[in-house]
């Protein structure tokens, strides 16, 4: 006995089975992840190292080459590529496909840890990271202002926008592109340094010696216990200008005698602009398996709330939505197809009585049901996107 003939003879059983499948489908559909491509992590591990102030030759000879020599001994490496530029080094290690990514990352960390003692003492610790297919931004909020500097705009974006976006369900990280963080920059005059017979190293040593706050302990008495705090941190530009660089008896040389301290951004080598206007971007990185569409919809709602509060002083707009545009289109198409199949399956229950009459008359054939159902579903799909003349109705973008 085939499934078709059983459904014809027992329509109630067929209805219950179909409703059960539909309910299970709706439950699974609500938990279904939405993304452009499958989450596939390539066995690629990168090692990043920063050495502020060093040129590319120093980076290559003292950082990149020692790390490459240590990493070369790992088994299963397919290729190694590196780049050395002013202040930073990056090594990319690609393993064979059969190598486990976690095992490869742990092997690289072990080798890098053993090679740290061969690096310069002032270098930042190397950072080992794995290739992550989900670490791609899917949405961004652009902020620009005509009255505020990029330093103030960066702080405003991180305090007001970044905190609100990080609380969206499914968000892994909110990055800030084009950030200009607050910093005190010390500009020195070479002629004045030469006149006082000082070098920039002397200024650096004085800065490390004077601008510091150490625990000073506490004072204990018979009935009193006090905590002592040494106020050694500089809090203003005037404090840096009054910093003592050299002292010989009554002769005191302050930094104001050698140059000047000003407020500038920490990074002055790059800037982010849109149509010639400087701006700051807050970009959203999703968690693995998160629903991109729900994240963007929630972010748009919060963006409208923030616009009502800060629209007078700042210009806020959304961007970087290519990932969700394609996902939303394909998700909508798949949803329409599922709805059509549900409608076709519901209309299927109009056939049993008619086919049962054919069966009673001796003309029943199980192929009749299959042909009728296939014809009906195909007709539903066709008329959804095309009119009777064969032209696209416009419900399916990109079709002709």
Per-residue pLDDT of the chain (400 residues; tens, 9 = 90+): 677 777 777 878 878 888 888 888 778 777 766 666 666 667 889 999 998 888 889 999 999 999 999 998 888 899 999 999 888 899 999 998 888 888 888 999 999 998 888 898 888 899 998 876 666 788 888 888 877 888 888 888 888 888 888 888 888 888 888 888 888 889 999 999 989 889 999 998 988 888 887 777 888 888 888 888 777 788 888 989 999 898 888 888 999 999 999 888 887 778 888 788 888 888 888 877 777 778 888 888 888 888 887 766 677 777 666 555 555 555 555 565 566 666 555 555 445 544 444 444 444 454 555 555 555 555 555 455 445 544 555 444 444 3
- What domains sit in the chain, N to C, each tagged with a CATH number? 3-32+327-385 (no CATH), 44-130 (3.30.70.1430), 139-181+268-320 (3.30.70.1320), 183-265 (3.30.2090.10)
**Euclidean distance between the first and final Cα of the chain, in Å?**
44
Task: State whether residue 71 is helix, strand or coil.
Answer: helix
Classify residue 386 by its DSSP letter: B
- Strands 315-319 and 139-144 come out as antiparallel
- Give me the numbers of helices (H) and strands (E) for the chain, helices first please: 14, 16
SS3 276: coil
List 262's β-bridge partners, or say none. Answer: 185
Nearest CA among 66, 128, 50, 59 for reference residue 93: 128
- Which pLDDT value is given to residue 395? 47
CA distance 224 to 219: 8
Taking a C-beta distance cutoff of 8 angstroms, is the pair 51, 64 a contact?
no
Tell me how far CA of residue 391 lies from CA of 260, 382, 383, 394, in angstroms. Answer: 73, 11, 10, 9
Measured CA to CA, the distance from residue 52 to residue 296 in angstroms comes to: 37
Cα separation, 281 vs 264, whole angstroms: 19
Kind of pairing, strands 277-278 and 273-274? antiparallel
Nearest to 175 by CA among 279, 267, 282: 282
């Amino acid at each position: 006995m085939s499934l078709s003939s059983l459904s014809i003879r027992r329509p109630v059983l067929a209805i219950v089975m179909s409703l059960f499948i539909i309910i299970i489908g709706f439950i699974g559909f609500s938990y279904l992840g939405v993304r452009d491509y499958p989450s596939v992590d390539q066995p690629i591990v990168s090692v990043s190292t920063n050495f502020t102030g060093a040129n590319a030759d120093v980076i290559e000879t003292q950082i990149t080459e020692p790390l490459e020599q240590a990493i070369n001994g790992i088994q299963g490496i397919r290729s190694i590529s590196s780049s050395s530029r002013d202040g930073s080094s990056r090594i990319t290690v690609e393993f064979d496909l059969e190598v486990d990514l976690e095992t490869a990352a742990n092997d690289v960390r072990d080798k890098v840890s053993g090679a740290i003692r061969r690096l310069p003492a002032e270098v930042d610790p190397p950072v080992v990271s794995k290739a992550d297919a989900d670490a791609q931004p899917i949405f961004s909020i652009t902020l620009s202002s005509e009255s505020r500097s990029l330093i103030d705009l960066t702080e405003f974006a991180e305090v007001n926008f970044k905190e609100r976006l990080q609380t969206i369900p499914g968000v892994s990280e909110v990055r800030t592109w084009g950030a200009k963080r607050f910093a005190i920059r010390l500009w020195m005059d070479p002629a004045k340094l030469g006149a006082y017979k000082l070098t920039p190293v002397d200024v650096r040593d004085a800065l490390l010696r004077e601008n510091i706050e150490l625990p000073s302990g506490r004072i204990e008495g018979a009935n009193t216990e006090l905590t002592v705090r040494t106020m050694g941190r500089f809090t203003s530009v005037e404090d840096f200008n009054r910093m003592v660089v050299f002292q010989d008896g009554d002769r005191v040389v302050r930094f104001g005698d050698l140059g000047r301290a000003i407020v500038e951004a920490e990074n002055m080598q790059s800037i982010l602009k849109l149509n010639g206007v400087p701006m700051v971007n807050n970009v959203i990185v999703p968690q693995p398996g998160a629903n991109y569409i729900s994240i963007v919809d929630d972010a748009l709602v919060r963006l409208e709330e923030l616009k009502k509060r800060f629209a007078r002083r700042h210009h806020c707009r959304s961007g970087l939505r290519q990932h969700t545009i394609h996902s939303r289109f394909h998700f909508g198409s798949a949803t329409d197809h599922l709805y059509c199949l549900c409608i076709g399956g519901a209309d299927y229950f109009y056939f049993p009585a008619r086919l049962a009459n054919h069966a009673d008359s001796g003309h029943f054939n199980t192929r009749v049901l299959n042909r009728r159902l296939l014809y009906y579903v195909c007709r539903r799909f066709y008329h959804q996107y095309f009119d009777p003349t064969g032209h696209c109705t416009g419900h399916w973008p990109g079709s002709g």
